[in-house]
């Protein structure tokens, strides 16, 4: 049976149908019913499982049936907190989609954009607020928002919210909303810290879990290729071409690195754009939209910027560098293989990154082997073809495989000079180094 079994209001059902969903996903099957009964929920699910609808549908239903306060009342009745602006925007899109036959108004409130527009929208009356903690607190301090009539509160991606240091902000916000409310907390991982937060803000919650978070999604094939740090860009270009990759998310650990990779791809005629927290909100939105619409073949993102990105059809995730935290690896590769689709995750491993790979193996309980990329001859710093970082079997580091230990005294001069005169590339969006935007409202 599809969504009819839940007893959602007709307008919501129509919204779900219009979104093209026929069958609830596992997290939806588990969470929607108890949420409709008014229970507090702890939802353990990663992005890509359909978790947004799992809380948005019951939230809308409650607003339809729960209270006679008219739509667009001065006081919002539902609040969703998200760690990043992108996620806030995505949740707002989901609310607009599922609630398209309802009279409710929703607003996404986040930093990095002009506050005046938000003030105008707020003054017109709003039913649902989706916000990052920083900007919401800003509005609360200005008294431009009144949260005293909130009936449903959702914490989306709570683990990330804690990772990003929002715990005090979240607590402050929760203290400002009525204790008589329904609360739902969604998180990819349930740590002791999350449990503590949940114990403080939820009442007799029902816990629903889908999948084991630390294990990457089964439909994703994981590849590890050995690489010299200095020839990773050539390996990237080679990989993009050899596998005819169309919609590729490349991860860089640093913002500067993301810019650099994107520039270099541009110089090779590969349309790409960088997404990270030093970009203004407008730039970030354009980057994401351009990638979604296929104007950019490659999106080069940092971990925080990519968190929660919901882009259908990412065929490949490439880790240009090995993430230092195993959790980030799982988040990264989860951007492909969404909703059960097949996907490929590729990681370039330099010798000095083996230790991070070992932590990934420990975290995921999987063993990986690092191989040379077929048909690619890595170029060493001195320009000579070289043997890439030593392949290792079954994920174990071979003592002495680090080329620095092999008497290699090459100078640390990069093969590519950043800022070298380059040919103009049309399909490439270049951004100035604008530091005005912060990643999280």
Binding site for ligand AMP (CB under 6 A): 21, 23-25, 28, 47-53, 310, 312, 338-339
The residues that bridge with 130 in the sheet, in sequence order, are 80, 108
Element (H, E) at 109: strand 106-109
Interatomic CA distance for residues 299 and 146, integer angstroms:
38
Interatomic CA distance for residues 135 and 441, integer angstroms:
5
Residue 284 or 356 having the CB closest to ligand AMP: 284
Interatomic CA distance for residues 310 and 316, integer angstroms:
14
Residue 188 or 235 having the CB closest to ligand AMP: 188
Query: In sequence order, what are the residues at sequence separation of 6 or more whose Cβ sits closer than 8 angstroms to the Cβ of residue 56?
Result: 91, 94, 95, 98, 99
Residue 289 or 408 having the CB closest to ligand AMP: 289
C-beta separation of 197 from 185 below 8 A: yes
Residue 91 or 274 having the CB closest to ligand AMP: 91
As measured in angstroms, the least distance from the Cβ of 6 to ligand AMP is 12
Residue 90 or 231 having the CB closest to ligand AMP: 90
Residue 53 or 217 having the CB closest to ligand AMP: 53
Residue 21 or 376 having the CB closest to ligand AMP: 21
Tell me, rounded to whole angstroms, the distance of Cα 177 from its chain centroid: 27
As measured in angstroms, the least distance from the Cβ of 43 to ligand AMP is 11
Residue 2 or 165 having the CB closest to ligand AMP: 2
Residue 157 or 163 having the CB closest to ligand AMP: 157
As measured in angstroms, the least distance from the Cβ of 38 to ligand AMP is 22
As measured in angstroms, the least distance from the Cβ of 154 to ligand AMP is 12
Tokens of 195: 């449990």
As measured in angstroms, the least distance from the Cβ of 166 to ligand AMP is 20
As measured in angstroms, the least distance from the Cβ of 46 to ligand AMP is 7
Interatomic CA distance for residues 259 and 256, integer angstroms:
5
As measured in angstroms, the least distance from the Cβ of 175 to ligand AMP is 28
Interatomic CA distance for residues 318 and 361, integer angstroms:
17
Tokens of 416: 């590519």
As measured in angstroms, the least distance from the Cβ of 431 to ligand AMP is 26
Q: What is the DSSP code (8-state) at residue 366?
A: -
* DSSP calls for 35-52: HHTT--EEEE--TTSSHH
As measured in angstroms, the least distance from the Cβ of 365 to ligand AMP is 24
CA proximity to 60, closest of 89, 87, 86, 92: 92
* 152-155 β-sheet, strand order: 106-109, 128-131, 78-81, 152-155, 182-187, 41-44, 206-209
Tokens of 382: 């001195």
Query: In sequence order, what are the residues at sequence separation of 6 or more whose Cβ sits closer than 8 angstroms to the Cβ of residue 357?
Result: 224, 322, 347, 349, 368, 370, 395
């Amino acid at each position: 049976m599809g969504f009819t079994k839940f007893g959602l209001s007709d307008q919501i059902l129509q919204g779900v149908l219009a979104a093209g969903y026929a069958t609830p996903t596992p997290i939806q099957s588990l969470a929607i019913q108890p949420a409709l009964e008014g229970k507090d929920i702890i939802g353990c699910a990663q992005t890509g499982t359909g978790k947004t609808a799992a809380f948005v549908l019951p939230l809308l239903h409650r607003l339809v049936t729960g209270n006679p306060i008219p739509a667009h009342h001065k006081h919002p009745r539902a609040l969703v907190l998200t760690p990043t602006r992108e996620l806030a925007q995505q949740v707002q899109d989901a609310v607009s989609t599922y609630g398209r036959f309802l009279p409710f108004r929703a607003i996404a409130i986040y930093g990095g954009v002009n506050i005046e527009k938000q003030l105008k929208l707020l003054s017109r009356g709003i039913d649902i607020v989706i916000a990052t903690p920083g900007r919401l607190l800003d509005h609360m301090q200005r008294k431009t928002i009144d949260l005293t009539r909130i009936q449903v509160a959702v914490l989306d991606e709570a683990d990330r919210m804690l990772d990003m240091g929002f715990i005090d902000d979240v607590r402050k916000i929760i203290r400002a909303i009525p204790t008589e409310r329904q609360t739902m907390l969604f998180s990819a991982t349930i740590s002791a810290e999350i449990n503590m937060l949940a114990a403080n803000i939820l009442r007799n919650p029902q816990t629903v879990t889908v999948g084991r978070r630390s294990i990457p999604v089964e439909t994703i094939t994981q590849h590890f290729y050995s690489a010299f740090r200095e020839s990773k860009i050539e390996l990237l270009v080679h990989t993009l071409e050899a596998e005819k990759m169309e919609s590729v998310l490349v991860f860089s650990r640093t913002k500067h690195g993301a810019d650099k990779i994107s520039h270099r791809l541009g110089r090779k005629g590969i349309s790409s754009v960088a997404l990270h927290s030093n970009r203004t909100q407008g730039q970030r939105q354009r980057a994401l939209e351009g990638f979604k619409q296929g104007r950019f073949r490659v999106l080069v993102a940092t971990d925080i910027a990519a968190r929660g990105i919901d882009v259908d059809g990412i065929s490949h995730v490439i880790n240009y560098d090995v993430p230092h935290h195993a959790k980030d690896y799982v988040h990264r590769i989860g951007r492909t293989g969404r909703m059960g689709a097949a996907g490929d995750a590729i990681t370039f491993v330099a010798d000095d990154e083996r230790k991070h790979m070992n932590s990934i193996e420990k975290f995921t309980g999987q063993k990986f082997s690092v191989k040379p990329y077929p048909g690619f001859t890595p170029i060493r710093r001195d320009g000579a073809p070289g043997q890439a970082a030593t392949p290792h079997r079954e994920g174990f580091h071979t003592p002495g495989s680090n080329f620095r230990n092999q008497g290699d005294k090459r100078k640390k001069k990069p093969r590519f000079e950043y800022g070298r005169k380059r040919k103009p590339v049309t399909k490439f969006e270049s951004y100035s180094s604008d530091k005005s935007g912060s990643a999280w409202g």
